[in-house]
Chain A
Amino acid sequence: MASTLPTLAIPGQRLAPVSSYAAGPGTHVQNANIYASIAGPVLVNPASSKTAKSTLSVSRSPLRTAAPAAPQSAPKSTAPGPSKPRYNTLPAVDSIVLARVTRVQKRQATVSILVVLDESASNKAGPPPTTTTASTGGASDNDNIEAILSSAANPENHSNSDELRFQALIRKEDVRAVEKDRVVMDEMFRVGDIVRGTVISLGDQSFYYLTTARNDLGVVMARSEAGNMMFPVSWKEMRDPVTGAAELRKVARPF
């Protein structure tokens, strides 16, 4: 009986009698037979104990490399190479993101998330990559990270495209780990800055919550009032190479 399992099930297709398998997700039982309820590859989960029956389930994911009898580790094999970070996935708690500041208020800064670094991928890659590795290593679905970031620094460019991206808030108390009550938001971020942060909460319907309260988090790219790209000089200061003027920021450690 077990040898007649189809690779691909169609709703209403009889898979096996209940005497040989237990019915799992995507199946239903009628008259002591397991039938498929949805279309997809048939998976067999081996029994946990000797007395229990193996579970028969129909998966929703399309049939790619999954063998009929393979357990559910199949989707993982379709993931790209292990060391390659993946971009533009959904932000999750603890994922590192690059975001552009769109608004600075007294108690919070509003940012829009440009790039999301997968949490699992960043774990494998060790320390979170800097922006330079992000732009060179962008061999995944999104190759125009450089374009995103350079357009980011352009102050005329942050009207429409930002509204389409994930919005996030950096609250005043999440900006840095020390002297939280002395934080002045105007001295931490300026509109148009590119900030590296990590997601602390999925927040409500409209905003994610980010924090920059770590040495490696904070502003990574910023333009001065004169419009020149600035370089970091300390953890709270950046300097314009042309005019020499210094501006206050919560700077991310560059290396």
Chain B
Amino acid sequence: MPLDTSTTYPLTKLRLDGRRWNELRLLQAQISTNPASSGSSYLAMGNTAIICSVHGPAEGRRGDASGGSAGSSGAVVEVDVNVAGFAGVDRKRRAGGSDKQSSRIGTILRSAFQSHLHTYLYPHSTISIHVSVLSADGSLLAAAVNACTLALVDAGIPMPGLLCACTAGMSGSASTPRDPTNDFLDPLLDLSLPEEQELPFLTVGTTTTVPVGEAAMIHDDEDEMKVSMLTMDSKVHCSYVETMLAVGIDGCKQIREILEGVIKKSARR
């Protein structure tokens, strides 16, 4: 079986795992999985599985408090990402500490949630988020964002809306300008690891937007999405970005509905 998505995809219009271009992988999630933490969650997107636990808001460590006035205006979000040695295809033996990938995910998560949460309600305190990747099969950052959102909701930390993330890519290298007459590339939603390794992709995170001005009065029930996080590591021609973004935002909308269902289900219990 050829692993090369870019050659097989145009023929079959099915991806390696049998999905169509706009299909998400199976998303399963659970909250309050760890009673010892303030909030916790387990989230699996396809074969990517993540557990996340939130501690706090709690008083920060002594060293941090004296370090400056960083926490005086609001809580400080700390994120710790740990990718298990058995998460990938081959077992990785790491000499402790975090590798480049996990520290990068941690940095993005921290800046995303630091600005997203209502941290001003908890001055001089720390919200620490611990993310453990049990199984990595692509869209790690997106899955981590979704898991963190669930855990933060479980912890009861106020936020303006659910932050949901999703990946979107193109079904080819997409390095040349788009040709409107002969457009053979499709955008792909929710990439798995083999797709992520060879195709350009971006990770987009959205939250519910706030209707502004006149629109607020008219479109009352319309839940608009607002992009609050966007990262892209690969190269793609700029004419494709808009398509990828649109597909990603659509995926975020689907994910948000799933996460809302998870929260409602656990609240009823």
Within the assembled complex, what's the spacing in Å between the Cα atoms of A32 and B212?
10
- A245 CB, nearest partner CB in chain B, Å: 48
B160, B216, B264, B268: the one within 8 Å of A12 (CB): B160
Query: Within 8 Å of chain B (Cβ to Cβ): is A202?
Result: no
| Residues 143-161 of chain B, each 1 if its beta carbon lies under 8 Å from chain A, else 0 | 0000000000110111111
| Residues 200-237 of chain B, each 1 if its beta carbon lies under 8 Å from chain A, else 0 | 00000001101110001000100000000000000000
Asked if A11 and B162 sit within 8 Å, CB to CB, the answer is: yes
Query: Within 8 Å of chain B (Cβ to Cβ): is A108?
Result: no
| Residues 115-155 of chain B, each 1 if its beta carbon lies under 8 Å from chain A, else 0 | 00010000000000000000000000000000000000110
Query: Within 8 Å of chain A (Cβ to Cβ): is B62?
Result: no
Please, which residue of chain A has its CB at the minimum distance from the CB of B263? A39
Asked if B264 and A8 sit within 8 Å, CB to CB, the answer is: yes
Check A38/B153 contact, CB under 8 A, given A8-B267, A12-B207. Answer: yes
Number of A-B residue pairs with CB-CB distance less than 8 Å in the complex they form:
59
- B38 CB, nearest partner CB in chain A, Å: 11
Query: Within 8 Å of chain A (Cβ to Cβ): is B269?
Result: yes
Q: Which of A23-31, A48-56, A142-150, A172-180 contacts B (4 or more CB under 8 A)?
A: A23-31
Within the assembled complex, what's the spacing in Å between the Cα atoms of A209 and B216?
57
Within the assembled complex, what's the spacing in Å between the Cα atoms of A63 and B266?
9
Interface centre among A38, A41, A63 (most CB of B within 10 A): A38
Asked if A37 and B211 sit within 8 Å, CB to CB, the answer is: no
User: What A residues does B161 contact at CB under 8 A?
Assistant: 11-12, 35
Query: Within 8 Å of chain B (Cβ to Cβ): is A60?
Result: yes
| Residues 254-266 of chain B, each 1 if its beta carbon lies under 8 Å from chain A, else 0 | 0000001001101
- A139 CB, nearest partner CB in chain B, Å: 24
User: What B residues does A14 contact at CB under 8 A?
Assistant: 220
User: What B residues does A12 contact at CB under 8 A?
Assistant: 159-162, 207-208
Please, which residue of chain B has its CB at the minimum distance from the CB of A32? B216
Check A10/B118 contact, CB under 8 A, given A38-B157, A62-B269, A63-B268. Answer: no
Check A30/B160 contact, CB under 8 A, given A39-B263, A62-B267. Answer: yes
Within the assembled complex, what's the spacing in Å between the Cα atoms of A28 and B158?
9
Asked if B153 and A11 sit within 8 Å, CB to CB, the answer is: yes
| Residues 1-38 of chain A, each 1 if its beta carbon lies under 8 Å from chain B, else 0 | 00000001011101000000000001010111101011
Within the assembled complex, what's the spacing in Å between the Cα atoms of A10 and B220?
17
Within the assembled complex, what's the spacing in Å between the Cα atoms of A37 and B207?
13
Label chain B's interface by main secondary structure: loop
Please, which residue of chain A has its CB at the minimum distance from the CB of B31? A39
Asked if A35 and B160 sit within 8 Å, CB to CB, the answer is: yes
Within the assembled complex, what's the spacing in Å between the Cα atoms of A30 and B156?
19
Asked if A31 and B211 sit within 8 Å, CB to CB, the answer is: yes
Please, which residue of chain A has its CB at the minimum distance from the CB of B154? A39
Within the assembled complex, what's the spacing in Å between the Cα atoms of A38 and B161?
9
| Residues 144-178 of chain A, each 1 if its beta carbon lies under 8 Å from chain B, else 0 | 00000000000000000000000000000000000
Interface centre among A26, A31, A60 (most CB of B within 10 A): A31
Within the assembled complex, what's the spacing in Å between the Cα atoms of A10 and B266?
12
Check A40/B267 contact, CB under 8 A, given A11-B159, A28-B160, A33-B216. Answer: yes
Label chain A's interface by main secondary structure: loop
Within the assembled complex, what's the spacing in Å between the Cα atoms of A37 and B266?
17
Within the assembled complex, what's the spacing in Å between the Cα atoms of A10 and B156?
11
User: What A residues does B220 contact at CB under 8 A?
Assistant: 14
User: What B residues does A38 contact at CB under 8 A?
Assistant: 153, 156-159
- A24 CB, nearest partner CB in chain B, Å: 12
User: What B residues does A60 contact at CB under 8 A?
Assistant: 156
User: What A residues does B263 contact at CB under 8 A?
Assistant: 10, 39
Please, which residue of chain B has its CB at the minimum distance from the CB of A33? B216
A10, A11, A33: the one within 8 Å of B158 (CB): A11
- B15 CB, nearest partner CB in chain A, Å: 31
Within the assembled complex, what's the spacing in Å between the Cα atoms of A40 and B211?
23
A10, A28, A33, A62: the one within 8 Å of B162 (CB): A10
Please, which residue of chain A has its CB at the minimum distance from the CB of B152? A11
Asked if A31 and B212 sit within 8 Å, CB to CB, the answer is: yes
Within the assembled complex, what's the spacing in Å between the Cα atoms of A30 and B209?
10
User: What B residues does A63 contact at CB under 8 A?
Assistant: 267-268
User: What B residues does A39 contact at CB under 8 A?
Assistant: 153-154, 156, 263, 267
Interface centre among A39, A60, A62 (most CB of B within 10 A): A39
User: What B residues does A32 contact at CB under 8 A?
Assistant: 216
In the A-B complex, list the 6 residue pairs whose CB atoms are closest, starting with the nearest: A12-B161, A37-B158, A12-B208, A60-B156, A30-B210, A39-B153
B interface list, Cβ under 8 A from A: 118, 153-154, 156-162, 207-208, 210-212, 216, 220, 260, 263-264, 266-269
- 11 interchain pairs (CB within 8 A)? A8-B268, A11-B158, A12-B159, A12-B160, A12-B207, A26-B158, A28-B158, A37-B118, A37-B159, A39-B156, A63-B267
